[in-house]
Amino acid sequence: MSLKAGIVGLPNVGKSTLFNAITKKNILAANYPFATIDPNVGVVTVPDQRLAFLENMYLPKNLVPTTFEFTDIAGLVKGASKGEGLGNKFLSHIREVDAIVEVVRCFKDENIIHVEGGVDPIRDIEIINLELILADLEIIENRIEKIQKKAETTKDKDALKEVETLKKAQKALLENKALRLISFDEDELLILKPFNFITLKPLIYAANVTEDDIVMDGNEYTKKVQEYAGSEGAGVIVMCAKMESELAELEESDKKQFLKELGINYSGLDKLIFATYDLLGLQTFFTVGKDEVKAWTFKKGTNAKKCAGLIHSDIERGFIKAEIMKFNDLEELNDEKKVQEAGKLYLEGKDYIMQDGDIVYFRFNI
């Protein structure tokens, strides 16, 4: 499952520095090389300490972590929805992502000019969010204008339902509310899905601070961002993009030692990956063996048969059963045979809902 998060922000907030850190980040396994898909897309692994345990146990030829894709979306300035900056190019790129990481400047630096004249994170957030709202509003108004008269004339139920749903979304946007903050039922969401509305996408804020402030876990600006985000149910990761860029140059052992000396368990980039992974309701299952230990990403609530299809469509088509071990059980007992003897090797059918940390072997026949 490919996951893509778009990094947005005003100029000079640290967005490019953060992306540079992402593109330098080391991959867990040497045989799974870093890939830059194109100049503004970088792929990193999702940090998972469980993989190290499984690698030590199975000593596989290949270790394959699950991956995470970031897109650096340039061109956002005030007026982007009307074509300022990169305008439409920016908007088309952001419509393609699954989640939005909004980088907010929470530091003072006289050497780095702020495009709006001074540091004010809430003003910056509102500028960005307004541009996204205006972009979605334009699409809605154009669509309503195109289909409303026909829907009312023909009394077509589907067309009338679409107009009703779009007007509900239009009302929210006119009240300066992002669509992700509005309650839509399943039918309404199906109607909205093809439009790929930007403000319907889940969002997390990355509050960019100085190295000194990261040790203090933030400053007066980050507190304001956290209050704002809390009012709309969004998350905030306090991080130092400059430090992340420097950390990305280090070997993993040196990076851990550096963070330990600062009293930090995880880097800001790792926290951002964890948070965005969770934001999208994603979880991980594992397949293990001497040839390969691999982490697989799946959407929370997915059944065993559908998860089998992530590996290969033939496995889904010929699905018989799924043999499941829980990672925690294997870690505790430290031996597959002991897990089985303890009655903790489960045989599950196609409707079993996969859980985070499941270690699975799919039985199938085609």
Res 158: pLDDT: 92
pLDDT at 291: 96
- SS3 of the chain: the string is CCCEEEEECCCCCCHHHHHHHHHHCCCCCCCCCCCCCECCEEEEECCCHHHHHHHHHHCCCEEECCEEEEEECCCCCCCHHHCCCCCHHHHHHHHCCCEEEEEEECCCCCCCCCCCCCCCHHHHHHHHHHHHHHHHHHHHHHHHHHHHHHHHHHCCHHHHHHHHHHHHHHHHHHCCCCHHHCCCCHHHHHHHHHHCCHHHCCEEEEEECCHHHHHCCCCHHHHHHHHHHHHCCCEEEEECHHHHHHHCCCCHHHHHHHHHHHCCCCCHHHHHHHHHHHHCCEEEEEECCCCEEEEEEEECCCEHHHHHHHHCHHHHHCEEEEEEEEHHHHHHHCCHHHHHHCCCEEEECCCCECCCCEEEEEEECC
Confidence (pLDDT) at 212:
87
Q: Nearest to residue 119, comparing CAs of 217, 225, 215, 212?
A: 225
Of 2-6, 29-33, 115-119, 220-224, give the lowest mean pLDDT range. 29-33
Nearest 5°: phi and psi at 3? Answer: -120, 130
- The pLDDT value given to residue 31: 32
Read off the pLDDT of each residue in 327-333 and give the average, rounded to a whole number: 97
Average pLDDT over residues 118-146: 92
Shortest CA distance to 238 belongs to which of 262, 213, 261, 273?
213
- For residues 45 and 302, the model is more confident at 302
Q: How far apart are the two ends of the chain, measured CA to CA in Å?
A: 24
Q: What is the pLDDT of residues 153-207, one digit of tens each?
A: 999 999 999 999 999 999 999 999 999 999 999 999 999 999 999 999 999 999 9
Q: Which two tokens stand for residue 162?
A: 């679409």
Q: Compute φ and ψ for 340, nearest 5 degrees.
A: -65, -45
Tokens of 24: 């330098």
pLDDT of residue 90: 60
pLDDT at 303 over 50: yes
Q: Report the distance separating Cα 14 and Cα 314, nearest Å.
A: 45
Q: Whose structure tokens read 């048969």?
A: 305
Is the pLDDT assigned to residue 93 strictly greater than 80? Answer: no
Residue 35 confidence (pLDDT) = 36
Q: Is the pLDDT score of 36 beyond 50?
A: no
- Residue 161, pLDDT score: 96
User: What is the average pLDDT across 71-76?
Assistant: 71
Q: In which band, very low, low, confident or very high, does the pLDDT at 74 lie, cut at 50, 70 and 90? A: low
pLDDT in tens, 209-261: 998 898 787 899 999 999 999 999 999 999 998 898 888 888 888 888 988 88
Q: How many CB atoms lie within 10 A of CB 229?
A: 19
Identify which of 351, 331, 349, 355 has the alpha carbon closest to the alpha carbon of residue 282: 355
Looking at residue 79, its pLDDT comes to 59
* Cβ-contact 76, 92 below 8 angstroms: no
Q: What is the pLDDT of residue 225?
A: 96
What confidence category does residue 87 fall into, taking pLDDT thresholds of 50, 70 and 90? very low
- Flag the least confident range among 12-16, 78-82, 120-124, 255-259: 78-82
Query: Residue 194 contacts by C-beta under 8 Å, 6 or more apart in sequence?
Result: none
Q: What is the mean pLDDT of the chain?
A: 87
Per-residue pLDDT reduced to its tens digit, 335-357:
999 999 999 999 999 999 999 99
Q: Note the pLDDT tens digit of each residue in 255-298.
A: 889 888 888 878 888 888 888 888 888 999 999 999 999 999 99
Per-residue model confidence (pLDDT) at position 88: 52
- Of residues 59 and 93, which shows the higher confidence score? 59
